[in-house]
């Protein structure tokens, strides 16, 4: 409506207006680019936080598994004495011998 009013001053009747080319000022364009960069950086930081959380969870699960394994070995040693250690030594010797044979 503002264009219609302004056009009447120049004896123009506007029926329809189509914008075919639009450019923004440097400041506005730079502000948009900075906003996009900030958004991407925020997304990257969110990914880093999520990855760290997943690593923390994996470490907790690994530690719980190691603790459970230590408990099982301790109980086995209480029942069998050093027999479990001897079995482990034999297994390790077999593995080493297998690698040396290749």
Quote the mean pLDDT of the chain.
Answer: 91
DSSP string, 42-53: HHHHHHHHHHHH
Cα–Cα distance, 9 to 3 (Å, whole number): 10
Percent of the chain at pLDDT above 90? 58
Q: What does the pLDDT read at residue 97? A: 96
What pTM was estimated for this model as a whole? Answer: 0.51
């Amino acid at each position: 409506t503002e264009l219609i009013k302004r056009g009447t001053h120049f004896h123009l009747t506007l029926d329809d207006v189509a914008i075919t080319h639009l450019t923004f000022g440097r400041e506005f364009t730079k502000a948009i680019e900075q906003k996009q960069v900030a958004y991407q950086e925020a997304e990257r930081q969110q990914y880093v936080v999520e990855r760290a959380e997943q690593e923390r969870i994996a470490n907790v699960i690994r530690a719980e598994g190691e603790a459970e394994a230590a408990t099982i070995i301790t109980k086995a040693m209480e029942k069998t004495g050093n027999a479990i250690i001897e079995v482990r030594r034999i297994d390790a010797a077999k593995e080493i011998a297998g690698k040396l044979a290749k």
